[in-house]
């Protein structure tokens, strides 16, 4: 009789443990896919716009930061496409890159925002990646080149680099699709793919599931244009956390004017320490009516946990980088007559 009682108690204990494990697993799944009105940023602050004057540039397009230097790609000059600035005094240190087909010249180039100390530039027309080192004086030296072996043309347009070979694409400019693709510069085929939006909608801009990607050595981040959602993955597309806010986004965008579509995350920058997500919460038409102002910068750690929220009291950048040594945001505003030959600057005070 005693043995029977002991056996029954053991069975009951196992059942309770099994129930606990199931509840725990469900909790972990819920944590990895958090949907909440209650998701709050522990720190909020308003930051005032400053300006950084540029020398010799009329139309900055994109930037990358290699502390203490800022590299700015210019669209209006063919004799010096890339300018290097010292962020300690805003002095122009060097300029390089010419448009053309001769030695040392580029066709249609893209400056990549990477976590590496070197500068990565891609010639989209030739699928060639150029890697430049930068010395203490802000002068660049070509380290080497590598041509992407992936069979499709323009396969490096929109690349988000994980390391000096691996990169990920999502709805690249010349290759729209419904997947995230992991590629290598040395490989001829896609290494791994992950579906993320509706494959039946050919035009990505007409899909409410449209997203863009950024990456570093440890993380791939997919942020959505219409949904208020950010997916944090490791370098193999394994989901770490999907941060989802309840948000009144459009259920369809197929028949609407793109300027009237309410947008959520319009641009994100992934540093070594944080993700910096620019939240719009309005249409582009409303944004321009309000003189390009009134956006929030949401900051998450690399596991998707909210860290801080900043209201940008000034012009909203269309594209930006963050110097994580000083936590200074440097932004570009396209087609805005309020600023000429300058960059936007916001000091993200309070970040550690």
98-154 confidence digits (pLDDT tens)? 887 777 778 888 999 998 999 999 998 888 999 999 999 999 999 999 988 887 667
The CATH number of 39-347 is 2.120.10.30
| pLDDT at residue 287 in the model | 67
| pLDDT at residue 106 in the model | 84
Question: What is the pTM for the complete model shown?
Answer: 0.86
| pLDDT at residue 3 in the model | 34
| pLDDT at residue 293 in the model | 77
For the chain, the structural domain boundaries read 39-347
> Which CB contacts under 8 angstroms, 24+ apart, belong to 171-174?
171/197, 171/204, 171/210, 171/211, 171/212, 174/124
- Which residues pair with residue 195 across a beta bridge? 179
The sheet carrying 91-96 orders its strands as 60-66, 69-74, 82-86, 91-96
Please list the pLDDT of the chain residue by residue as tens digits (352 residues). 333 333 333 333 333 333 333 333 333 343 444 444 457 899 999 999 999 999 877 789 999 999 999 999 988 777 889 999 999 999 999 999 888 777 777 888 899 999 899 999 999 888 899 999 999 999 999 999 998 888 766 788 889 999 999 999 986 555 667 899 999 999 888 999 999 998 888 888 788 888 999 999 999 999 999 889 999 999 999 999 999 988 777 777 766 666 777 888 989 999 999 999 999 887 777 767 766 677 999 999 999 999 999 999 999 999 999 999 999 999 999 877 778 889 999 999 999 8
Cα separation, 341 vs 58, whole angstroms: 5
| pLDDT at residue 240 in the model | 97
**Residues shown for the chain:** 352
Asked if residue 263 lies in contact with residue 284, where contact means CB atoms within 8 angstroms, the answer is yes
| pLDDT at residue 276 in the model | 98
Helix, strand, coil percentages for the chain (3-state, nearest 5): 10, 45, 40
| pLDDT at residue 332 in the model | 95
Cα separation, 232 vs 304, whole angstroms: 6
| pLDDT at residue 171 in the model | 65
| pLDDT at residue 21 in the model | 33
| pLDDT at residue 306 in the model | 96
In the chain, the percentage of residues whose pLDDT exceeds 90 is 54
| pLDDT at residue 174 in the model | 55
Burial class (CB in 10 A: 0-12, 13-18, 19+), 57: buried
Asked if residue 121 lies in contact with residue 132, where contact means CB atoms within 8 angstroms, the answer is yes
Q: Give the ranges where the chain is alpha helix by DSSP (H).
A: 2-32, 284-289
């Amino acid at each position: 009789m005693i043995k029977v009682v002991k056996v029954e108690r053991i069975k009951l204990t196992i059942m309770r443990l099994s129930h606990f494990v199931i509840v725990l697993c469900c909790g972990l799944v819920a944590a990895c896919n958090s949907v909440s009105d209650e998701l709050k940023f522990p720190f909020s602050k308003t930051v005032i716009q400053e300006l950084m004057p540029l020398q010799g540039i009329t139309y900055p397009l994109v930037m990358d930061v290699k502390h203490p230097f800022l590299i700015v790609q210019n669209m209006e000059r063919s004799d010096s496409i890339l300018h290097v600035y010292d962020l300690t005094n805003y002095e122009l240190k060097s300029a390089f890159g010419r448009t053309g087909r001769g030695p040392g010249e580029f066709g249609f180039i893209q400056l990549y925002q990477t976590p590496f100390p070197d500068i990565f530039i891609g010639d989209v027309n030739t699928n060639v990646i150029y890697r430049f080192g930068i010395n203490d004086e802000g002068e660049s030296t070509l380290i080497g080149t590598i041509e992407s072996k992936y069979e499709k043309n323009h396969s490096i347009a929109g690349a988000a680099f994980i390391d000096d070979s691996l990169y990920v694409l999502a709805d690249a400019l010349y290759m729209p699709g419904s997947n995230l693709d992991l590629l290598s510069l040395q490989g001829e085929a896609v290494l791994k793919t992950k579906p993320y939006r509706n494959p039946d909608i050919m035009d990505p801009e007409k899909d409410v599931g449209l997203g863009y990607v950024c990456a570093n050595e440890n993380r791939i981040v997919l942020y959505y244009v219409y949904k208020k959602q950010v997916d944090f993955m490791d370098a193999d597309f394994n989901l770490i956390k999907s941060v989802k806010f309840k948000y009144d986004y459009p259920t369809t965008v197929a028949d609407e004017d793109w300027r009237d579509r309410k947008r959520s995350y319009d641009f994100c920058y992934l540093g070594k320490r944080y993700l910096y997500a620019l939240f719009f919460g309005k249409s582009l038409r409303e944004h321009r009516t309000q003189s390009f102002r009134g956006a929030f910068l949401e900051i998450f750690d690399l596991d998707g946990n909210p860290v801080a929220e900043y209201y940008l009291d000034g012009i909203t950048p269309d594209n930006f980088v963050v110097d994580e040594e000083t936590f200074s945001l440097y932004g570009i505003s396209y087609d805005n007559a309020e600023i000429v030959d300058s960059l936007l600057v916001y000091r993200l005070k309070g970040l550690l």
